[in-house]
A and B are shown apart, each in its own frame.
Chain A
Amino acid sequence: MLLTRLARRPFFWIIALTIALFAIAPAIGWDVDMRETLVLDALYIILASNLNIMLGYTGYINFGSIVFFGLGGYICLWLVSAFSLPLVVSLLGAGVGVSLLALIFGLGILRLRGHFFALSTIGIIEGTQAFVQNFNPWGGSAGFYLDTGVFKPLGGPAQALWIIYFMMIAVMGLSLYLSYAIKNSKFGLGLLAIGQNEDAAAILGVPTPLYKALAYCTSAFLPAIAGGLFFFKSAYVEPASAFDLTLSTEVIVVTMLGGQGTVTGVVLGAYLYAELRSYLLTTATFSNFQLVISGALLLLIVLFFPGGLMGWIYSRFPQTKKVLE
C-alpha cells in the first residue's frame, strides 16, 4: 500500500511533527492570539498545497482556486442555515459539492491547454462571482449571516472557535499528506509527466484530460472544506470576502515563494509570507499597499528565482532532496 510505504520514510514523520506543532503550540495555555495567527498560516498551507497540485505538479496555473474556498464557504453556511444540518455534514457536503462542480467544469475546460486554461480559470472567478452576487437564496451581494445559536452544539462560541481551529489543522494535515501521497503515486507521476511535456505524456499512455480533470477536482475538495470552516467561524459570508482577490494572490505567492511542486516549500512559503504580512500590516504605510507588495514579490520570484526557496535549498544542499519532498 502507498500509505505503509510512505510511513517508512522520514518525511512522513516530518509532516506529522509539523501538524503536532500546530495543534499543541496554542493549546499550551490556550493562547488565543497565537491561535488566530496559526489559523491563517494553516489556511495558507491548505490553499497553497492544493493549488500546488495543479500549478506545481501539472504545470497548469489556476487563477481561480479561490472559487473553491468561497463556494465551499457558501455551500456549508447555506446547508447549516437553511437545512440546519450539523457542521461536519455541511462541511462534507461543501467539499463533495464543490469537487463535483470542479469535475464537471474540469472535464470541459481541461481539454484546453496552457493559456486557454488559465484564461478560463479567470473566467470562472468572474462567472461565479457574478452568479453568487445575483443568487438571492445566498443573499446576493450583501451575503448572509448565521444565527447566533449555531455555536451551541459545539459548546458555545469560545469552545467552538477552538474546535474549528483543530478541525482546520486536521484539514491542513490532510492537505499535506494528500500532496505527499499524490506526488509518490502513479497518478502523481502522470501529472508530473503532463507538467514536463503533455504531448509526450499522452503518447506514453497517460490519459491526460482525465488526469487533469481529476487533479483539478481533487484540489477543490479540501479548500472547500477550509472555506466552510473559515466562514462558519465568522458566521458570515459575502462575495467580496469569499472571492477575495488578495487572498487568491497570496496563495499563488506562497506557492511560488516556497517552491512550486514541493510539499515542504508550501509550508515554508506560508510561514515566511505570514511573517512578512504581519510585519507589513502593523506598519500603517504598508497596509494599504499589501497587494502592491505581494505583486512585486511575485514578479521578483518569477523572474529571478522560479524555483523558489526549495529550489535554492536543493541546489545548495543536494542531499536534502532525499529527505524533503
Chain B
Amino acid sequence: MLGFLASVIDGVLVGFVYGLAAMGLTLIWGVMDVVNLTHGVMIVCGMFALYALINTLGIPPYVALLPVLVGGFIVGAGLYWLAIHRVVGRPALMSLLSTFSVNLVLVGLGTAVLGTGLFNVDVSIPGFSLGRYTFPGAHIVAAIMAALIAYALYLFLGHTKIGKAVRAVANNREAAELVGVPTTRVLAFTVGTGVAIAAVAGMLIATLFPFTVLSGDDYTLKSFVVTVLGGFGNPLGALFAGVALGVLEGAITPFVPVSWTLVIEFALFVVVLIAFPGGLFAPRRGAL
C-alpha cells in the first residue's frame, strides 16, 4: 500500500513536468489554431541543450534554465517565420504538414549526427525519504520549477501588455489587428514562448529520465493526452491534466509493465476525445 502511495506521489511530481510540456503545445494551439508537431523534437532539443551545457561548460543543471529558455524562444520564433507564418488561417492539413516536415528534418538531423543511443544527465540532489521509499531530489525540484514556470506564464498572460495582446489575438485576430495589435509579431512571440516552454520542460525531463533522439514521440503523445484532458487552448487546465496523467501513470506502474503505459495512455486519449470533446477542464469560451 505504501509502495502504491509512493508511486502515485512520484506520479504527481512527474505530472507537473508533463503539464508544463503540454502548456507549450496548447498555447500555440489556442492562439492560432496550429498544432505544433515539432513539439516533441523541441522537448528533445531542450534535453540535449542541457546535456551539452553540462558537459561542455560544466555549469550546474538548473542554471541551464535561462539559456534553454532564451534559446528555445529564438528557435520558436524562427520556426514561426519558417513554417507557420504562411499557413496560419489555412486548412488544418497545411499547418500539420508543414510542422510535421520541420519535425522530420530535425529528427533526421538528430539521428544522423547523434545516433539513437541512450543519453543521461546525472543530477544528484538528496531525496526525501518516506519509510522504505525515497523520492529523488531531482523529481521534487523539477516539479517545483515546472509549477513556478507555469504560474509565471499564467501571470504573464493575465497581467502584462504582451500577454493581453496574445489573448486578444487568440480571441479574434481581425479585431485585435483593428485596434492596433501587431498580430503577426504577437503570433511569432507566441510560438517562441510555446517552444521555449517545451524546451524547458524537456530540460527538466532530462534530469528525471534517460533519453534518446527519438524520445520526443512519447512525450508528444503525452502532451496530446494532457491537452485533450485539459481542454485545448487552456494552459492552466493543461497543468492540472498533466498532474492527472502523472497520477494515472503512478497508479498503474506497480501493476502494468512500463512498456504498456503508452497503449493505455492512447486508449485514454481516444476515450476522452470522444466522450469529452471539449476536455475535462474545458475553459469558458475564449478564456484562454
Contacts and interface: CB of A to CB of B under 8 A. Distances in A.
Interface in B81-101: 82-83, 86-87, 91-94, 96-98, 100-101
The 4 closest A-B pairs by CB, nearest first: A291-B108, A295-B104, A127-B266, A292-B108
A298 B83 CA distance: 11
A111 interface: yes
A130 B260 contact: yes
B251 interface: no
Contact of B93 (A61, A108, A116, A290): A61
A252 B97 contact: yes
Contacts of B92: 61, 114-115, 118
B282 to A, nearest CB: 14
Contacts, number: 121
A99 B217 CA distance: 26
B93 A119 contact: no
B97, B111, B274, most chain A CB atoms within 10 A? B97
Given A112-B273, A249-B104, A123 B97 contact: no
A61 B224 contact: no
B109 interface: yes
Nearest to B98: A302
Nearest to B107: A291
Contacts of B96: 61, 115, 118
Contact of A299 (B102, B221, B224): B102
A249 B94 CA distance: 15
Nearest to B274: A108
A295 B103 CA distance: 8
A59 B91 contact: yes
Interface of B: 29, 33, 35, 82-83, 86-87, 91-94, 96-98, 100-105, 107-109, 111-112, 217-218, 220-221, 224, 228, 257, 259-260, 262-263, 266-267, 269-270, 273-274, 277
B273 A116 contact: yes
B94 A302 contact: yes
A164 interface: no
A230 to B, nearest CB: 22
A252 B92 CA distance: 15
B98 A303 contact: yes
A131, A133, A288, A302, most chain B CB atoms within 10 A? A302
Contacts of A118: 35, 92, 96
Contact of A134 (B221, B259, B267): B259
23 contacts: A59-B93, A60-B93, A61-B93, A61-B96, A109-B273, A112-B274, A114-B92, A116-B228, A118-B35, A120-B270, A120-B273, A122-B221, A123-B269, A126-B217, A256-B97, A289-B108, A292-B108, A292-B109, A295-B101, A299-B102, A299-B105, A302-B87, A303-B83
Given A119-B228, A288-B112, 14 more contacts: A112-B273, A116-B228, A116-B277, A118-B92, A120-B269, A123-B221, A126-B266, A127-B262, A134-B260, A298-B97, A298-B101, A299-B83, A302-B97, A302-B101
Instruction: Determine the main DSSP class of B at the interface with A.
Output: helix
B104 A292 contact: yes
A126 B262 contact: yes
A108 to B, nearest CB: 6
A306 to B, nearest CB: 7
A303 B86 contact: yes
Contacts of A292: 104-105, 108-109, 112
Contacts of B103: 295
B87 A303 contact: yes
A108, A115, A134, most chain B CB atoms within 10 A? A115
Contacts of A61: 92-93, 96-97
A167 to B, nearest CB: 31
Nearest to B113: A288
B11 to A, nearest CB: 19
Given A249-B104, A252-B97, A302-B87, A131 B273 contact: no
B104 A119 contact: no
A126 B218 contact: yes
A281 to B, nearest CB: 14
A158 B83 CA distance: 48
A294 B107 CA distance: 12
A124 interface: yes
A173 to B, nearest CB: 28
A303 B83 CA distance: 8
A55, A134, A299, most chain B CB atoms within 10 A? A299
Nearest to A113: B92
Interface in A35-85: 55, 59-61, 63
